[in-house]
Amino acid sequence: MASTATPVWDGKIFSDGWTAGGDGTIDVIAPGSGRSLGTVGSASVADLDAAVTSAAAAQKAWAAAPYAARAAVMLKAAQLLEADTARLTDVIVAESGSGGGKAAFEAGLVISELQEAAAVAAHPYGELLRSVKDRTSIARRVPLGIVGVISPFNFPAILSMRSVAPALALGNAVILKPDPRTSIAGGMALAALFEEAGLPAGVLHVLPGGAELGAALVTHPQIPCISFTGSTAAGRKIAESAAPLLKRVHLELGGNNAMLVLEDADPAAAATVGAWGSFLHQGQICMTTGRHLVPRSLAEAYVAALAEKASHIPVGDPEQGAPLGPLIDERQRDRVHGIVEAARESGARIAAGGEYDGLFYRPTVITDLSPESSAWADEIFGPVAPVIVYDDLDEAIEMINASEYGLSVSIITANPYRGYELAGRIESGAIHINDATVDDEAVIPFGGVKASGVGGRFGGPAASLDTFTETQWITMQSEPEPYPF
């Protein structure tokens, strides 16, 4: 952390100010060095109930405030962060094991998200409808009330903020439960930012905690909307729990994203895109490139170029400047290595990597795989680039679409229009031609299809309105309607 002063969140939750949590504290450990970053409070179910009561009361005044007041808070928060990005980047690097470049990129996304949220607050929020009667007929968007947000560890700040900021800007209150491994970057640092920006008390509550708290948040009868980002397995459980309550559930889930290299591509240029897509933030991104499909004519050159890049990327403590840091914990490291070893034992070739030191896993390239291999079929969430050779383009597209996931796909080609034509045959929420699968902007409606997500999108005014408001129909006429009885 940049400062030696005790932070306001040390040992605390954020609920009507900084206060002790009812379930003790959570130790915050830097995965790169193992050093303590302090503690945050651990919220209890009773804390959640109190937060809901507070949020329900505060939300009414917040929603009734002029839109400019809500926009001003978003803009002030953006200005404060822009003036001192280290207040966020330092904790992202230390707490989540992010490289400095990735942390700076993430902070920039948070700033953009706040700015776009301010614009959403000012966006037209209704439309004049035609009616068969002589009357005025209006559809307008109104806040949902309280939005529950559950965010993950990998991009903790932006994957919290992309729900928190637009939900607040549109007049909702928010209860945020960040991943307990990244409660500072994913929650506490954001709460401190909003507090300094003048957000009224009670409108935002940040409650770190574990699975029991998350389950209580999902099933709380006074929280009508859940916005979750995380694994597909966890998303299915959330959907199952929320369904009997008829809640709005927005799920942004996993991906096993493909990069399709066409025969006319430059293999060296393609390998640069592939390395970025597979190894950025140690592959711990839902948009990570998890499958590389390469034509036989380019396979040898592509694998050699990708392996060369993998073998020369420095891996180490990001607080000491390494571009690639640790995996988030031992459980994730063991899962990644288990998949790599299973591929090796089944006859795959490890062209680079396949080794680790503590939580630091070397960028890994695997070839000679079968489509049935776990390294090909499953989301690995580690710095692993599986490569399969194809002879027929139709077969390659079938392999892409065979996955249960559909989040992001990359097409590398010398003819971008040909890539555009192929995009219509691919089942994916995003397709990037001559760019990596890892890509995001605050103005873009982001989300996946199939097992990669369901519900509303994140980003852009239309998506934010669809996701974080309800439609209300209003009619007006000058005289009471004369009915026959």
Confidence of residue 1 (pLDDT cuts 50, 70, 90): very low
Classify strands 173-177 and 204-206 as parallel, antiparallel or unpaired.
Answer: parallel
Q: Can you name the CATH fold of 12-253+452-474?
A: Aldehyde Dehydrogenase; Chain A, domain 1 (3.40.605)
Q: What is the rounded CA–CA span in Å between residue 185 and residue 157?
A: 5
Confidence of residue 4 (pLDDT cuts 50, 70, 90): low
Contact 228, 447 (CB under 8 A): no
pLDDT tens digits, residue range 95-151?
Answer: 999 999 999 999 999 999 999 999 999 999 999 999 999 999 999 999 999 999 999
Mean pLDDT taken over the chain: 96
pLDDT at residue 363, rounded to an integer = 98
The CATH 3.40.309.10 domain(s) of the chain lie at: 257-433
The CATH 3.40.605.10 domain(s) of the chain lie at: 12-253+452-474
- Helices (H), strands (E): how many in the chain? 15, 24
pLDDT tens digits, residue range 297-346?
Answer: 999 999 999 999 999 999 999 999 999 999 999 999 999 999 999 999 99
pLDDT tens digits, residue range 246-305?
Answer: 999 999 999 999 999 999 999 999 999 999 999 999 999 999 999 999 999 999 999 999
Confidence of residue 2 (pLDDT cuts 50, 70, 90): very low
Q: Can you name the CATH fold of 257-433?
A: Aldehyde Dehydrogenase; Chain A, domain 2 (3.40.309)
For residue 240, the SS3 value is helix
For residue 223, the SS3 value is coil
Q: What is the rounded CA–CA span in Å between residue 239 and residue 226?
A: 9
Confidence of residue 484 (pLDDT cuts 50, 70, 90): very high
Which DSSP category does 149 fall into? E
Q: Which residue numbers are catalytic?
A: 252, 286
Q: What are phi and psi of 22, to 5 degrees?
A: -80, -5
